[in-house]
Structure 1
C-alpha cells in the first residue's frame, strides 16, 4: 500500500506532461475471470473480481488522473466509441450501496473513460510510450461518457476494448456520484490477463502495439486491490466482448 500511495503522490507532483509516459501499463499477468489459461509468463486462475468483492465492502478508491474527463456532464451518452477503431466492448457496471445491504443504487451518475487501442486518451496531449509519438487530442472527447443507473443499479456503455500504455495495466476509470451530483467513489476496473493477451496479439488494431508491459499484480493501482477491481469479461475478438462488474459505494 505504501508503494501505491508513494507512486500516486509522485504522479501528482510530476504533472500531466511528465506523467503521460509513466502512467501507463497493461493488462498484466494476473488473475483471470473468464478462462483459466497458462502462458509463458504466468498461470491464471478463474476467480472473478466481482465475486471476490461480494462481502459488501466499498470498492477501493483510486486516482482519477492523469486524464480525467474535464466536463463529464457534457457527455451523457451510452455509445462512447466516437469513431475509434478496436474490438467492440459492452461495459455493464452495477452500482451497489454498502449502506443498504449492498442493494442496487438507482439514480447514480456513472462516468467512465479509457484509452484507445494504442494507449491515447482524448482531451489531452498524450504520449503513451512504446515508440508512439505525442498527439494533441485536446479537442476530442472519444471513449468518455456518463450514464444514470436504472432500478437495478445498472449502466451500460458501448465502447472498444482498451489498449495499454507503458507503466499501467489495462483499465477503465470509473467515477460514481449520487443523484445530486455528490462524488461517492473514484475507482478503476482491471481486465483478465488471458483476454488481454488474446486481443493484443490477434486483433488487427492492437497487434502492432503487442502485449502489455505491466501485470495487474505489479501495477501501481491494482497491486493491492485487485480482488475488488477485476472484472469478468466474456466473448471473443470476432464477436466482441462484454465486461460485467459491480462497484460498491457508501451512499
Structure 2
C-alpha cells in the first residue's frame, strides 16, 4: 500500500490549510487584544492616563494621555514674602538705657512711655523737657510689620511698638545725654500690622553689634502704662549698610573702629539666636547715604 506523508498532500491542500490557520490567528489575536484591554482597564480602575483600542483591521492605536490630577494642580508657591513666613522673635534684654520705667538714670527713673507726646512717627527730635535738639545722622525710614506666628503670620493691628537706639556717636538720650530725649518713640500698628518711624542710622559703640531696641505692647493703653510689654527684643543692623554708612557718612568716625572689632555671631545679644531669628531681626534696607535709607522688618509674636 502506498503511504503518503502528511506533509505532502498537494498544493491545493496546503493553500486551504494556510487560509484556515491565518483565520484562526486573526481571531485569536482579536480575542487576546480585547481581553487584554479589558484586564488593563479593570486593573487601572479607570484612572489611567493612557487608553488603548483596536481597530477592525487588528491595528492597535493609543489615545492621547489624560492628565492626572497631580500634573494639573497649581504648584504651591514658595514662601518668599514676610506675610507667608515668620518666626517668633526672641526675647532680648532691654539694655541699660530703655527709659521705660524699669531702671534709673542719675538717681531718677526715666519713663518716656508716660509722656503725652511719646506717640510720634519722627523720633529724631527731643521731646521731653526743654530741649528740641534733633539727632544728626543718615536718615532711616523704618517700617515694622507685627504678625501673629500662630495665625499664618496674620498682621496684628492696634498694637503699640516702642523703639529706641543710640545716636551716631553711640550715646543714648536720657542716660549718656540726660538733657536729650531723641531717638525714642511709640507707634500704633495699622490694619496691615505696620508702623513707620523716621529716625537715623545708629552708631556702633564698643562691644555691641549696631542695633535698635523695641518693645511690643498689646495696646497703646498698656504701652503708656509701662511695664506691660508682650515682647522686648532688638533689631540687628545689616552689615553691608553699617560698612557703607560708617565709612562714608559724616559723624560716624568712632563707629568705624568699633564695628571692625565686633561680629554678630559673637555679640552677647544676637550670638545665640538661630539663623532664622537673625534673618528676621535684620531689617531689609535700600537707599544711600545721601538720599537716606528705607528699612523694613517683620516682628513675630505668638498670640
Q: TM-score, normalised by structure 1?
A: 0.71
Residue correspondence of structure 1 range 156-171 to structure 2 within 5 A: 156-171=196-211
Contact 2:85 2:152 in 1 (8 A): no
> Deviation of residue 54 (structure 1)?
6.2
Highest RCO, 1 vs 2 (Cα 8 Å, sep ≥ 6):
1
Please state how far the C-alpha of 1:169 moved relative to its aligned partner: 0.4
Contact 1:53 / 1:59 at 8 angstroms: preserved in 2? no
Query: Structure 2 residue aligned with 1:214, among 257, 262, 279?
Result: 262
Counterpart in 2 of 1:240? 292
| CA pair 56-202 structure 1, distance change in 2 beyond 3 A | closer
Asked if residue 80 in structure 1 is aligned to residue 127 in structure 2, the reply is no
Give how far 1:224 is off: 2.2
Matches within 5 A, 1:31-42: none
User: 1:232 offset after TM fit, Å?
Assistant: 0.8
Aligned length: 191
Cα offset, 1:73, TM superposition: 3.9
Are 2:206 and 1:176 aligned? no
Where do 5+ consecutive residues of structure 1 fail to align? 1-49, 127-136
Measured against aligned partners, the alpha-carbon deviations of 1:73-127 in whole angstroms (never above 9, x if no partner) come to 4211111111111001101100001232220000000000000001000011x3x
Task: Indicate the SS of the match to 2:162.
Answer: strand
CA contact (8 A) 2:205 2:255 kept: no
Equivalent position SS for 2:142: strand
Instruction: Tell me which protein shows more helix as a share of its residues.
Output: 2
Q: Distance in 1 between matches of 2:243 and 2:85?
A: 30
Runs of 4+ in 1 over 4 A off after TM superposition: 50-55
Q: 1:71 aligns with which of 76, 94, 112?
A: 112
Work out the CA distance in 1 between the residues paired with 2:151 and 2:216.
16
CA drift at 1:238: 0.7
Q: RMSD of the TM alignment (CA)?
A: 1.9
Q: Select 2:153's aligned residue among 102, 107, 121.
A: 102
Q: Would you say 1:228 and 2:280 are equivalent positions?
A: yes
Q: Distance in 1 between matches of 2:281 and 2:212?
A: 10
Are the structure 2 counterparts of residues 246 and 109 from structure 1 closer, same or farther at C-alpha, using a change threshold of 3 Å? same
How far did 1:217 drift? 1.6
Distance 2:157 2:82 in 1: 23
- What TM-score do the two structures reach when normalised by structure 2? 0.60
User: Deviation string for 1:46-90 (max 9, x for gaps)?
Assistant: xxxx97996433111100011102232421111111111100110
**2:285 touches 2:294 (CA, 8 Å); kept in 1?**
yes
Within-5 A mapping of 1:132-143: 137-143=177-183
Which among 190, 205, 210 is matched to residue 150 of structure 1?
190
Aligned counterpart in structure 2 of residue 60 of structure 1, from 67, 76, 90? 90
Match of 2:166 in 1: 115
The residue aligned with 2:7 is none
Paired residues of 1:184 and 1:250 also in contact (CA < 8 A): no
